[in-house]
Amino acid sequence: MNSAVDILLVEDSQDDIDLALHALRQGKLANSIFVVRDGEEALDFLFCRGAYSERSFDHPPKLVLLDLKMPKVDGLQVLKQVKNDPRTRTIPVVIMTSSKEERDLLEGYNAGVNSFIQKPVDFEQFRETVKTLGMYWLVVNQRPVNHESRIAAETGVKNGGPE
Amino acid sequence: MPDFMPHGYCFQWDPLVLWLHVISDGIIVLSYFCIPVALVYLARKRRDLPFNWIFWMFALFIMGCGATHLLEIWTIWHANYLLSGIVKAITAVASAATAILLIPLIPKVIALPSGDQLHAVTYELRLQVIERERAEEKVASTQAERERVQAALAEHQCALEDLQLAQSALHRSQGQLTAIIQSAMDAIITIDEDQRVVIFNAAAEKMFGCTLAEATGKSLERFIPQRFHQGHAEHIHRFAHTGVSNRAMAAQGAIWGVRSNGEEFPLEASISQVQSGSRKLFTVILRDITEQKRIALALAEQAEELALSRRSLEVQTLMLQSVLDSISEGLVAADETGKFILWNPAATRIIGLGAANVPPEQWTDHYGTYLPDTVTPFPPEQNPLLRAIRGEACTAEMYVRNAKLEIGVWIESSASPLKGKDGVARGGVVAFRNVTQRRLHEREIRKLNDELEARVIERTVALQAANHELEAFTYSVSHDLRAPLRHISGFSRILLEDFAPSLPAEAQRHLQRIAQGAARMGKLVDELLNLARVGRQSLTIEPTRLSSIVQDVLALLEPEIAGRNVEWKISDLPVLECDSILVRQVFQNLIHNALKYSRPRSPAVIEIGQTEKNGQPVIFISDNGVGFSMKYADKLFGVFQRLHRAEEFEGTGVGLAIVQRIIHKHGGRVWAEAEIDRGATFYFTLGSCEHSESKTIAAAATSGDRT
């Protein structure tokens, strides 16, 4: 459980996980995918705590694919915590959900989501979508690699990170 | 003076001698004193006696003798001889003078006639006296006559002067009279016994249209209508014999005159007569009463009219009375002092009491009037009738409860001042009705309303709860229903792709159908969610240029248009007040439909424009596509209702339902006209949301487009 993770997939449904992985695999993007099954686990992973305490803020995922409806801590709560913390703020978060409720959209964008995607019912479309966004965020998009998170860590925000 | 002895001493106081002397002397004295008196009386009575003075002489000397004898008596006791001597001397002188005077008289007395002669003379004298008396009488009567003549003369003189005065006065008054006659307003005509005109004044000239010169000396008859000639002559004749100086002629009946132009006119006349020397003159004074008659006639007409209007007034009054008696509203009027002048039966019925002679400030107590709260006595000064009397129109609601009206009533009254023609208030009138029943109804209605309100709130709460539930439901449908569909679609696709070689062809076809079914269901779910969202969403109304919306939609539909032969006929559309996002959806669905159902046509003709219905702009979108039968028109806008098979034209049957829901949310109307194979036209209005202002904007926008 160390080193670089390209995509953190936060999804409670095994079916959706399988489909997503299938699509990503077909898009040659499945090299470094880490899957967590609920919001709490996602937060542990991202904030390097609990089961993931040995992880370092120095190696955040390049993309978080976040489902909204999940047990325990839902997607929007995860998003808010990530975007409220300077150590995690720069991590791109894309919400992938079944619904496209205006309410959720608004809340997501207000919390600082980087993209909001409704999962198409049609698998062809789904595959295309996943491929496109993976290409975009992992290849096309430029991000300040580890820089800001490091600065944030150095300025004393210590959240259970290992020495 | 020597001191003589009284003469008694000579008698030696012998009483006999003494008293003899005294008495004798006394008697002498008395006699001598009486004789002169008689003589003087005689001389005075008979002044005609000749030598009358001799009697005076005798009287004197006899008186002297008497005095000497008196002194004889005196000197017996008193020796006053000097006095005695003086008296004797006087007597002596008198006697001597008498004697002397008597001597020459004697011859004369002898010459005096004797008694007979005297008688004869006396007789003669008597005759002469009678004669003379007669003469004197004559002279006296002559004198009287003369005096009378003189007096008469003087009188005549006076009379002459008076006459002269009278004459000048007469001249003056004659002038005045003439002036009066000439200037009189009435016609004055004087005629003689033969009815010939003597005087004819200016008014007469004017009245009869005939000059004085023409009238003078002519018969009066020319001024009298022919039919009255006989009667008039007789009348004058009779009048002459009555001796009455004047009389009115009107009493004799209508008098008519005739003017020189033949016009007859009514007259009022009086006649007088006067004897002037041997002549008898009649003067008539005439007044033209044409005007008076006319006035009298007009007055009579007026009186008749008055009587007529009075009768109708009576009828009206009667009518009014019965109206007042029969109306259900109470009607009460009072004069300016607050005394009731009208109180109809309904008034008594409503408030239980009749008109009472109580001052306004006691009305509240007497009639038991209260404010609508039913307990506060109605402020007397605010009584509507009193306010009306003060000149103020008002309405008021009050509660009335009194001995006759134990169960109180609410009355509603409206009062207004009674005004005279001059606009000054002369009292007030108030009309009122029993509104108890209405109040009860109102109370009932209010109660029901309150209940309704409560129920509405209750329902609203329930509805809101239901809405929330629905929202939650749609949310979970959207999320939970779509996930399994996605899984079905996804895994069947994976099977097809990854395991195709090991699958029989039929299994592959079935998998294909599973994927298609899942995809289709996904679309349905999405459309349903759309519909639900439209229903939930509140409108954001703003002026919207429909033309720009159409342009946007066409751009959006470009993929569908591409490769098609479509002839667009798009006219200017107005600017309307609406929710632009939802209306965009309407245009999108309708244009999409038009494109879809005209797919078999080349060219497809699609027209977008506006028309007008009931002054409202109506937007229409027509195509020349396959159309539909109007007998299914009512199904057109139902959810999942389709008039074509899916194999012919794809679709979910939700698009038009969404259109209808959006239009209805705008208060508008949507409908379609179509014919199989002849195309379809969809019309819609945006109802109450558009108004004249937006029309103006539309016009401005349209004209702006053209320039």
Pair (B531, B557) in one structural domain: no
Contact B489 A15 (CB under 8 A): no
Pair (B355, B258) in one structural domain: no
Residue A97 makes CB contacts below 8 A (sequence gap 6+) with A67, A68, A69, A75, A104, A116, A117, A118, A119, B479
Residues of A in contact with B525 (CB under 8 A): 121
For residues A41 and B647, the model is more confident at: A41
Last residue of a domain, one of B376, B406, B431: B431
Which of A32-46, A75-89, B83-97, B110-124 is least confident?
B110-124
Return the pLDDT at B291.
84
Residues of A in contact with B493 (CB under 8 A): 123-124
Report yes or no on B176 lying in a domain.
Answer: no
Residue from the list A13, A102, A122 with its beta carbon closest to the beta carbon of B483? A13
HSE-up of A56 (CA within 13 Å, CB side)? 9
Mean pLDDT over the full length of chain B: 85
Return the pLDDT at A2.
47
Shortest CA distance from A123: residue in chain B:
B490
Pair (B471, B577) in one structural domain: no
Q: Is A98 touching B (CB cutoff 8 A)?
A: yes
Report yes or no on B528 lying in a domain.
Answer: yes
Pair (B369, B406) in one structural domain: yes
pLDDT in tens, B342-370: 899 999 999 888 888 899 889 999 999 99
Residues of B in contact with A121 (CB under 8 A): 482, 485-486, 489, 518-519, 521-523, 525-526
Instruction: Find the radius of gyration of the CA atoms of chain B.
Output: 79
Residue from the list A97, A98, A123 with its beta carbon closest to the beta carbon of B490? A123
Residue from the list A68, A101, A122 with its beta carbon closest to the beta carbon of B489? A122
Report yes or no on B155 lying in a domain.
Answer: no
Report yes or no on B549 lying in a domain.
Answer: yes
**C-beta atoms surrounding A122 within 10 Å:** 21
Pair (B481, B391) in one structural domain: no
Q: Is the pLDDT of residue B542 over 60?
A: yes
Last residue of a domain, one of B431, B450, B471: B431
The nearest CA of chain B is from the CA of A119 a distance in Å of 8
Beta bridge partners of B269: B286
Pair (B542, B528) in one structural domain: no
Q: Is the pLDDT of residue A148 over 60?
A: no
Which CATH number covers residue B698? 3.30.565.10
Q: Is A109 touching B (CB cutoff 8 A)?
A: no
Contact A99 B475 (CB under 8 A): yes
Contact A98 B482 (CB under 8 A): yes
Q: Is the pLDDT of residue B701 over 80?
A: no
Residue B687 makes CB contacts below 8 A (sequence gap 6+) with B616, B663, B666, B667, B668, B669
- Residue by residue, what is the 3-state secondary structure of B461-524? HHHHHHHHHHHHHHHHHHHHHHHHHHHHHHHHHHHHHHCHHHCCHHHHHHHHHHHHHHHHHHHH
pLDDT confidence bin for A110, thresholds 50/70/90? very high
Contact B487 A126 (CB under 8 A): no
Q: Is A76 touching B (CB cutoff 8 A)?
A: no
**C-beta atoms surrounding A128 within 10 Å:** 14
Shortest CA distance from A22: residue in chain B:
B494
The nearest CA of chain A is from the CA of B633 a distance in Å of 33
Please say whether the beta carbons of B340 and B366 come within 8 A: no
Shortest CA distance from A13: residue in chain B:
B483
pLDDT confidence bin for B683, thresholds 50/70/90? very high
Return the pLDDT at A155.
52
Pair (B85, B209) in one structural domain: no
pLDDT in tens, B96-118: 888 888 888 888 877 776 667 76
Q: Residue range B84-94: average pLDDT?
A: 88
Which CATH number covers residue B369? 3.30.450.20
Q: Is A120 touching B (CB cutoff 8 A)?
A: yes
Residue from the list A22, A100, A122 with its beta carbon closest to the beta carbon of B522? A122
Shortest CA distance from A98: residue in chain B:
B479
Q: How far is it, in rounded angstroms, from Cα B335 to Cα B387?
A: 12
- How far, CA to CA in Å, does B653 sit from each of B34, B529, B632, B643, B671? 199, 13, 14, 9, 16
- How far, CA to CA in Å, does B431 sit from each of B59, B111, B231, B330, B350? 137, 147, 70, 5, 11
Q: Is the pLDDT of residue A143 over 70?
A: yes
Which CATH number covers residue B508? 1.10.287.130
Pair (B672, B550) in one structural domain: yes
Q: Is A129 touching B (CB cutoff 8 A)?
A: no
Contact B486 A99 (CB under 8 A): no
**C-beta atoms surrounding B363 within 10 Å:** 20
| Closest C-alpha to B21, from B84, B70, B88, B92 | B70
Residue from the list A15, A69, A120 with its beta carbon closest to the beta carbon of B479? A69
Residue from the list A99, A101, A126 with its beta carbon closest to the beta carbon of B490? A126
Return the pLDDT at B57.
85
pLDDT above 90 covers what percent of chain B? 22
Contact A22 B479 (CB under 8 A): no
Which pair of structure tokens corresponds to residue B41? 């009386």
pLDDT in tens, B137-151: 888 888 888 898 898
Q: What is the pTM of this model?
A: 0.43
Residues of B in contact with A15 (CB under 8 A): 483, 487, 490-491
Residues of B in contact with A68 (CB under 8 A): 479
Residue from the list B479, B494, B533 with its beta carbon closest to the beta carbon of A98? B479
pLDDT in tens, A1-30: 445 788 999 998 898 899 899 888 888 877
The nearest CA of chain A is from the CA of B589 a distance in Å of 20
Residues of A in contact with B515 (CB under 8 A): 123
pLDDT confidence bin for B555, thresholds 50/70/90? very high
For an interface test with A, the pick among B468, B476, B479, B498 (most A C-beta atoms closer than 10 Å) comes out as B479
pLDDT above 70 covers what percent of chain B? 95
Please say whether the beta carbons of A92 and A114 come within 8 A: yes
| Closest C-alpha to B325, from B349, B305, B301 | B349
The nearest CA of chain B is from the CA of A69 a distance in Å of 8
User: Is the previous residue joined to B603 through a cis bond, with omega within 30 degrees of 0?
Assistant: yes
pLDDT in tens, B13-46: 888 888 888 898 899 989 888 888 888 888 888 7
- How far, CA to CA in Å, does A75 sit from each of A80, A81, A108, B110, B241? 9, 10, 9, 219, 150
Return the pLDDT at B113.
63
Contact B483 A100 (CB under 8 A): no
pLDDT in tens, B245-274: 777 775 555 688 888 888 888 888 888 888
Contact A121 B480 (CB under 8 A): no
B664 phi and psi, to 5 degrees? -65, -35
For an interface test with B, the pick among A19, A25, A122, A129 (most B C-beta atoms closer than 10 Å) comes out as A122
Pair (B607, B695) in one structural domain: yes
Q: Residue range B579-608: average pLDDT?
A: 92
Residues of B in contact with A119 (CB under 8 A): 482-483, 486
Report yes or no on B354 lying in a domain.
Answer: yes
Pair (B683, B578) in one structural domain: yes
Please state the domain count of chain B.
5
**C-beta atoms surrounding B532 within 10 Å:** 19
The nearest CA of chain B is from the CA of A68 a distance in Å of 10
Return the pLDDT at A3.
55
Report yes or no on B156 lying in a domain.
Answer: no
Residue from the list A100, A101, A119 with its beta carbon closest to the beta carbon of B486? A119
Which pair of structure tokens corresponds to residue A130? 């996943």
Q: Residue range B208-224: average pLDDT?
A: 85
Last residue of a domain, one of B431, B462, B485: B431
pLDDT confidence bin for A76, thresholds 50/70/90? very high
Shortest CA distance from B492: residue in chain A:
A123
pLDDT in tens, B399-454: 999 888 888 899 999 999 988 888 777 899 999 999 988 888 988 999 999 999 99
| Closest C-alpha to B106, from B40, B45, B41, B50 | B50
Shortest CA distance from B537: residue in chain A:
A102
Q: For residue B563, give the DSSP letter.
A: T
pLDDT in tens, B499-518: 888 889 899 889 888 888 88
| Closest C-alpha to B681, from B615, B616, B625 | B625
Shortest CA distance from A125: residue in chain B:
B490
Pair (B422, B462) in one structural domain: no
Residues of B in contact with A100 (CB under 8 A): 478
The nearest CA of chain B is from the CA of A100 a distance in Å of 8
B446: helix, strand or coil: helix
For residues B106 and A147, the model is more confident at: B106
Please say whether the beta carbons of B397 and B412 come within 8 A: yes
Pair (B457, B496) in one structural domain: yes
Please say whether the beta carbons of B689 and B668 come within 8 A: yes
For an interface test with A, the pick among B471, B477, B486, B521 (most A C-beta atoms closer than 10 Å) comes out as B486
Report yes or no on B312 lying in a domain.
Answer: no
Report yes or no on B352 lying in a domain.
Answer: yes
Q: How far is it, in rounded angstroms, from Cα B480 to Cα B465?
A: 21
Structural domain of residue B484, as residue ranges? 435-536
pLDDT confidence bin for A150, thresholds 50/70/90? low
Helix (H) and strand (E) counts for chain A?
6, 5
